[in-house]
Amino acid sequence: MFALGSKISEKILGGLIAQKAPSRYGVFFTETRVLFGRIGSIPLGFTLIVISAALGLLCALYALAESGLLDSPSLITFFFMMFIPALFIFAAARIWTYFTKNKFLKFGGSPSETILAVDKKNFQIPYSDILRVEIKKGSFARMPKMIIQTTKEKYDFNLVEKHKYESQLNLVRSSLPQKTYVV
- Taking the C-alpha atoms of residue 4 and residue 30, their distance in angstroms, rounded to an integer, is 10
pLDDT at site 127: 97
Integer Cα distance of 36 and 45 in angstroms: 19
User: What are the pLDDT digits (tens) for 11-22?
Assistant: 888 999 999 888
pLDDT tens, position by position, 86-100: 777 777 777 777 788
- Biggest alpha carbon–alpha carbon distance for the chain: 69
**Do the beta carbons of residue 53 and residue 88 sit within 8 Å?**
yes
% of the chain at pLDDT higher than 70: 86
User: Tell me, what's the pLDDT at 45?
Assistant: 63
Q: Residues 36-93: pLDDT tens digits?
A: 999 987 666 677 777 777 777 777 777 777 777 767 666 666 676 777 777 777 777 7
Cβ neighbours around 133 below 10 Å, total: 21
> Which has the higher per-residue pLDDT, 45 or 9?
45
Q: Round the average pLDDT of the chain to a whole number and report it.
A: 83
Average pLDDT, integer, range 129-151:
94
DSSP-derived secondary structure letter, 32 = S
Q: Provide the pLDDT for residue 2.
A: 41
- Give the pLDDT band of residue 114 (cuts 50, 70, 90): confident
- Is the CB of residue 1 less than 8 Å from the CB of residue 164? yes
